[in-house]
Amino acid sequence: MRMAEQVHSVREDEANRQRSRYTPLQEYVWKKVEVLQAKYTADACGSAAPLARLRRAISSAPGSDPLVWQETMEGLPVQFVGRDDEPSREEHAVHAAITLFAMHQQSQSTFRAHKRGQVFGHAASQLGRAIGEPPVLRRFQALATATSFEETLTHARGLISQFRSQKISLDYGRFAVDLAKLQDPRSADRVRLDWGRTYYFAPKTETVGTDAAQSSGDAESNGEEQ
């Protein structure tokens, strides 16, 4: 095997390990937001209160607001729990994704802010087609090149506010994984590569403002939890 092929093989192996490692994180966030979303879109009694608490915690550090522990910490796979006084990368990612979901879903009882498979690049591409590409691309580039997690979240919050106004959904499980990987220098460039690819090669058949076929069984079965 030539050197270039060996390097490619090593990179592929590492990417596969990363995907396998983060599958439980993605599934954890899916479960959390799908429960919240199913209850809110069904107009269940008390369903708006957890989302309001999450929105208030959007700028808080993970774990610092006891009122959102249940939504952001309960049941987190143990491998993602921090080992010292600081939140882990994954705890930061989960807290950010779930609180941003709550902002995205606000006052949108007939729209599902979360949709599996709608990755960040696809959502940003839809937004560009809806309101004009140049400002969206500038904000997306600022997000991708942010030098701190706080700056990343500032730009993400701006884009997600626009997703909300245009009724564009986002896969929050996948987004949480992206946020975790962005904090790791070993995987950050792979996230940026994926974002670029999915921005420029997004499916063209999606319609802004629609919420396609997400398995209702997922939300309904998860709605039994908590």
Cα 51 versus chain centre, distance: 16
Q: What is the pLDDT of residues 100-136, one digit of tens each?
A: 999 999 998 899 999 999 999 999 999 999 999 999 9
Q: Which domains can be identified in the chain, with CATH numbers?
A: 3-214 (1.10.520.40)
Secondary structure (DSSP) of 48-88: HHHHHHHHHTTTSPTTS-GGGHHHHTTT--GGGS-SSSS--
In order along its 226 residues, the chain shows pLDDT tens digits of 565 554 445 455 555 555 678 999 999 999 999 999 999 999 888 899 999 999 999 999 999 999 999 999 999 999 999 999 999 999 999 999 999 999 999 998 899 999 999 999 999 999 999 999 999 999 999 999 999 999 999 999 999 999 999 999 999 999 999 999 999 999 999 999 999 999 999 776 544 444 444 444 444 444 444 3
List C-alpha distances in Å: 17 to 11, 119, 160, 187, 193.
Answer: 10, 20, 29, 11, 17
pLDDT of 202 reads 72
pTM: 0.83
Evaluate whether 89 touches 41 at the Cβ level (below 8 Å).
no
d(CA 109, CA 42): 8
CA distances from 196 to 3, 160, 164, 181, 185 (A): 27, 17, 21, 15, 18
- Looking at residue 91, its pLDDT comes to 98
Distance CA 141, CA 143 (A): 5
pLDDT of residue 1: 55
24: closest CA among 180, 191, 144?
180
